Structure 1
Amino acid sequence: MNSTGLGPADTLPAQGSGARPGRNLQVLPDSVDWRALGKVTSVKDQGNCGACWAYAAAAAIESAYLIARPSVSAADVDMSEQQLVSCVNAANGNWTSRGCDGGWSDEAINYSVSTPLLTEARYPNTPGAPRCRANLVRTSPAGTFVRLATGASRVPPGSELSLMQAVALQPVVVYFSVSPEFHAGGLYTGGGCTNLVNHA
């Protein structure tokens, strides 16, 4: 099992795999704190499942939903990471993600364009990566899911300006390198970072 949960071999899928170039802002704000604006949901624990990619994607989708619907509170938004772990899976179609053995957030976000992402209450977390419950997805009533209008965009590696532009629009998924020691809490300031990414 991939202990952190990024994709197989920790190499990013090709740019043509569904990720699109992001929008550019001509004028950047001096700062933006999406947490203070109430557009970031609570931190969740992926447990022993290497699905950081799904948790990061669900959090980005939750934030996009909150930005699009200003009257909704972050406490009221909880999308299903389990649906992403189980359904955005190499066993279920044209995905490279492998459930609890790693995956890519852009695949999960792009899945949520074509398939409704259910709430955690409707599609609850189950240990491991059980089979996709596609029938539940197809038969869910309004109010128990969101569907994205657009898919994932990719920020060019090493482009701080592009990253600032993306963050000015909404919270983003970031891949980074962590050391083998597990982090207990707070800000991660691990040394020895490399260009190889293994966590989202």
Structure 2
Amino acid sequence: MKTVVLLVCSLYLIVEGSILFPNPDQEFTNFKIKFNKTYRSWAEEETRFAAFKKNLDRIEKHNGEKHSWKMGITQFADLTRDEFVQTHLQGYKPFGTKRPTMAKKENINIDLPESVDWREKGIITEVRDQGMCGSCWAFAAASQIASYAKLNDMSHPLEEISVQHLVSCSGNPLQCGGTGGCMGSIAQLAFTYTSLFGVVKEEDYPYTSDVPWGDDGETCKYDATTTPATAVVMGFETLPHNDLDSVMYHLANVGPLATTVAASDGGLYFEGVFDGCDYNENIEVNHQVQLVGY
């Protein structure tokens, strides 16, 4: 199944058919200013500049070809593809056991709308940056909890749910998809934790794991006696695997989904419908996001 995900990045103007980056030195200077990049040594800066120049070549080559999506200069443009994967895509790893699934519905693709976008319904929170922490699983879970809390009572405000609460307090003793915290987990564990203890708003437990070696982000600091929970999960279901009809039916008739995607080539993504998976090779599913429509 091919899942389409929209990623929000930054980009300088692309003019198709022209030389995009005639001056790599100036582009690197602009890049450092735009994304507030600093390096610990001249040697590190040289290494980053070398990776940056190779990425400029990748962008020019890709955008000069006929693709359904474009690359651009993002905050990850000073990383190689392997470095991007190792630094930012370690939050989800398949845990290799059979998951429970809901029964497949028959003829569920009948009368589905042509398109669905839950952002238009006012139930999707803002895109946030997980930083250097492998916490994509917690971001996906927090976004889902916020969306379904709003769907459950549209008269209540849409609340930003605390990702740090889930990162620090959702245990992962069996190492399902990682070892927990910033080292990876799965959204199901966050849902299970929230069904037992609830979860608070972002302002009650702010995110600190975007800072390397942040404020002891692996230690749970939630005190239920002093901070009431904002939301509690009453249950969740897992759709049949690789079943496009079930995904579209759920998006059209129920709400958004937490899903996993292959994001290794997403570091330079800018716009368009991503179709960059090579189906002649193994596809590594390594990132968890919220799917908000089709």
Q: Fold-level match, TM-score > 0.5?
A: yes
Deviations, residues 90-144 of structure 1 (Å, cap 9, x unaligned): 3xx556351111111111112111111111111111234330124x1x21444x5
Distance (whole Å) between structure 1 residues aligned to residue 226 and residue 283 of structure 2: 41
Distance (whole Å) between structure 2 residues aligned to residue 45 and residue 67 of structure 1: 24
Distance (whole Å) between structure 2 residues aligned to residue 49 and residue 187 of structure 1: 27
| SS at 2:264 equivalent | coil
TM-score (norm 2): 0.56
Residue 277 of structure 2 corresponds to residue 192 of structure 1 = yes
Give 2:160's match in structure 1, choosing from 65, 73, 78: 78
Distance (whole Å) between structure 2 residues aligned to residue 24 and residue 132 of structure 1: 40
Distance (whole Å) between structure 1 residues aligned to residue 91 and residue 140 of structure 2: 11
C-alpha deviation, 1:162, in angstroms: 1.0
Deviations, residues 138-174 of structure 1 (Å, cap 9, x unaligned): 21444x52111113x2122221111112212111011
Distance (whole Å) between structure 2 residues aligned to residue 6 and residue 190 of structure 1: 22
Percent of aligned positions with the same letter in both sequences? 27
Larger relative contact order (Cα-Cα within 8 Å, sequence gap ≥ 6): 1
Give 2:225's match in structure 1, choosing from 139, 153, 160: 139
Cα pair 1:2 1:100 within 8 Å, conserved: no
Q: Which amino acid aligns with 2:256?
A: P
Cα pair 2:101 2:238 within 8 Å, conserved: yes
| SS at 2:121 equivalent | coil
TM-score (norm 1): 0.80
Distance (whole Å) between structure 1 residues aligned to residue 204 and residue 141 of structure 2: 18
Residue 254 of structure 2 corresponds to residue 166 of structure 1 = no
**Is the deviation greater in 27-36 or in 47-56?**
27-36
RMSD: 2.7
C-alpha deviation, 1:5, in angstroms: 3.5
C-alpha deviation, 1:28, in angstroms: 5.4
Cα pair 1:179 1:190 within 8 Å, conserved: no
Residue 207 of structure 2 corresponds to residue 113 of structure 1 = no
| SS at 1:117 equivalent | coil
| SS at 2:195 equivalent | helix
Give 1:176's match in structure 2, choosing from 261, 264, 272: 261
Distance (whole Å) between structure 2 residues aligned to residue 22 and residue 59 of structure 1: 25
Residue 97 of structure 2 corresponds to residue 14 of structure 1 = yes
Distance (whole Å) between structure 2 residues aligned to residue 66 and residue 95 of structure 1: 31
Q: Which amino acid aligns with 1:154?
A: T
Paired positions, count: 188
C-alpha deviation, 1:35, in angstroms: 0.5
Cα pair 2:103 2:240 within 8 Å, conserved: no
Residue 141 of structure 2 corresponds to residue 57 of structure 1 = yes
**Is the deviation greater in 122-131 or in 40-49?**
122-131
| SS at 1:173 equivalent | strand
Give 1:123's match in structure 2, choosing from 184, 205, 208: 205
5+ residue gaps in structure 1?
none
Distance (whole Å) between structure 2 residues aligned to residue 183 and residue 115 of structure 1: 38
